Amino acid sequence: MLKFSLFIFLVVSTFMLGLWAYKINYESRAAYQRVRQLEKSILLANKEIKILNAEWAHLNSPDRLRKLVKYFYLELKLNPISPDDFVLFSEIFWDQSNEKIHTELAGKSLTEIDHGD
C-alpha cells in the first residue's frame, strides 16, 4: 500500500509539474511577444520623431523663412529683429489700474484703437 500511494503521489506531482511548466512556457512566450510589439512601437516612434525633427528643421530654415517674409511682407509687415527691439524686464511699465478693468470695457477700448490702415 505504501508503494502504491508513493507511486500515485509521484504520478500526480509529475503531472502537476508538467502543467506548471506548460503554463510558464506559454506565459513566457506571451511576454516575449509583448516585448517584441513594444520594441516595434518604440522603433516606429523613433522613426516618427526623426521625421518630425527633419520637418521642423525644414520649416525653420532661415532661407525659407526669409522667402516667406518677403512674399508676405505687404500683408504681415514683418521686419528683421535687431538687438534694439528687446527691452529689459525691469524697463516694462506695469500699470496696476489695467488689471481691474472689466472684460466688456477692455473689449470696447480695444476696438477703438486706430491701426493706421
Least confident range of 42-51, 60-69, 78-87: 78-87
Domain that holds residue 64: 2-79
From CA 84, how far away is CA 70, in angstroms rounded? 22
Type of residue numbered 33: Q
H or E stretch covering 36: helix 2-59
Least confident range of 47-51, 54-58, 84-88: 84-88
**In the chain, % of residues over pLDDT 70:** 80
What is the reported pTM?
A: 0.50
What pLDDT is attached to residue 10?
95
What pLDDT is attached to residue 23?
96
Tell me, yes or no, whether 107 lies in a domain.
no
Tell me, yes or no, whether 40 lies in a domain.
yes
- Our count of domains for the chain comes to 1
What pLDDT is attached to residue 89?
81
